Amino acid sequence: MIQVYNAGNTNFNVNGDMVIQPISVILSNQINIIPSLEMELSYDEYGVWEYVKEDCVIKCNTPYGEDLFRVYNTVKNDDTYTVYAKHIFSDLIDTVAKDMSNDDICIVKTGNATGQQAIAKLFNNTDFTGHSDILKTDSVVWERKYITTALLGNDDNSFLKRWGGELYINKFDVYMYNQLGSDNNTLISYGKNLESIEEEIKIDEVVTRIIPVGANGLRLTGQTPWIDSPNINKYSNIKEKVVEFSNVKVKEKPEDEEGFATIDLARAELIRLSNLMFSEQHVDTPSVNIKTNMTDIRDSIEYQQLGYSGVEKIGLGDTVTCRHYKLGIETKARVISYKWDVLTEKFVEIEIGDTQLNYFDKQTDISNKVSKVLNDNGNVIAEYVQGIIDATKSKFRALKDVAQTQHIRAMLFEDLDSSSPTFGAMCCGTAGFEISNKRNSDDTDWNWTTFGTGKGFVADCITAGTINANLIKAGILSAIKIQNQDGSFIMDLGGTGGLTCKRNGQNSLSIEGSHINFYRFDDSGKYSGSIGTTTIIGDNTKQAINIYNDKGSYVTIGYIGGDGNIHSYMDFDESQVESTNKRSINFWKNAMLHNGACLYIGDVDNCYLTSSSTGGAYLGGDMYVSGTLSAGGSKTRVVDTSQGKRGLNAYETPNALFADYGHDTLDSNGECTINIDTLFLETVTASEGYEVFLTKYGKGDIWVEETNDTNFKVCGEPNLKFSWNIVLKQKGYENTRLQKIDVGDAKNETI
d(CA 223, CA 431) in angstroms, rounded, equals 45
d(CA 690, CA 601) in angstroms, rounded, equals 39
Q: What is the pLDDT of residue 544?
A: 82
Q: What is the pLDDT of residue 464?
A: 46
Query: Which carries the bigger pLDDT value, residue 79 or residue 471?
Result: 79
pLDDT band at 266 (very low <50, low <70, confident <90, very high): very high
Per residue in 103-145, pLDDT (tens digit) is 889 999 999 999 999 999 999 989 999 999 999 899 999 999 9
Q: What is the DSSP string of 11-37?
A: -TTS--SEEE--SEEEEEEETTS--EE
Residue 227 has pLDDT above 60, yes or no: yes
Share of the chain above pLDDT 90, in %: 32
Pairing of strands 183-190, 197-202: unpaired
Q: What is the pLDDT of residue 660?
A: 94
Domain ranges of the chain: 2-91, 95-177, 183-203+285-353, 209-279, 469-549, 555-587, 598-649, 657-730
Q: What is the pLDDT of residue 474?
A: 44
Q: What is the pLDDT of residue 527?
A: 86
Q: What is the pLDDT of residue 260?
A: 92
Q: What is the pLDDT of residue 555?
A: 87
Instruction: Find the mean pLDDT for residues 237-264.
Output: 89
Q: What is the pLDDT of residue 156?
A: 86
d(CA 83, CA 401) in angstroms, rounded, equals 51
How far is C-alpha 591 from the geometric centre of its chain's CA atoms? 29
Residue 116's contacts (CB-CB under 8 Å, 6 or more residues apart) are 130, 131, 132, 133, 134
Residue 747 has pLDDT above 50, yes or no: no
d(CA 467, CA 476) in angstroms, rounded, equals 11
d(CA 528, CA 418) in angstroms, rounded, equals 47
Residue 356 has pLDDT above 90, yes or no: no
CATH class of 183-203+285-353: mainly beta
- Report the predicted TM-score, pTM, of the whole model to 2 decimal places: 0.41
Query: Which carries the bigger pLDDT value, residue 77 or residue 401?
Result: 77
Per residue in 608-654, pLDDT (tens digit) is 667 655 556 666 666 666 667 777 677 777 878 888 888 877 778 89
Q: Residue 558 burial (CB < 10 Å; 0-12/13-18/19+)?
A: middle
Instruction: Find the mean pLDDT for residues 447-469.
Output: 57
Q: What is the pLDDT of residue 141?
A: 93
Query: Which carries the bigger pLDDT value, residue 212 or residue 434?
Result: 212
Contact (Cβ atoms closer than 8 angstroms) between residue 4 and residue 16 = yes
Contact (Cβ atoms closer than 8 angstroms) between residue 212 and residue 243 = yes
Residue 433 has pLDDT above 90, yes or no: no
Q: What is the pLDDT of residue 444?
A: 66
| H/E run at residue 68 | strand 65-76
Cα dist from 378 to 136, 404, 687, whole Å: 32, 11, 111
Query: Which carries the bigger pLDDT value, residue 56 or residue 604?
Result: 56
pLDDT band at 202 (very low <50, low <70, confident <90, very high): low
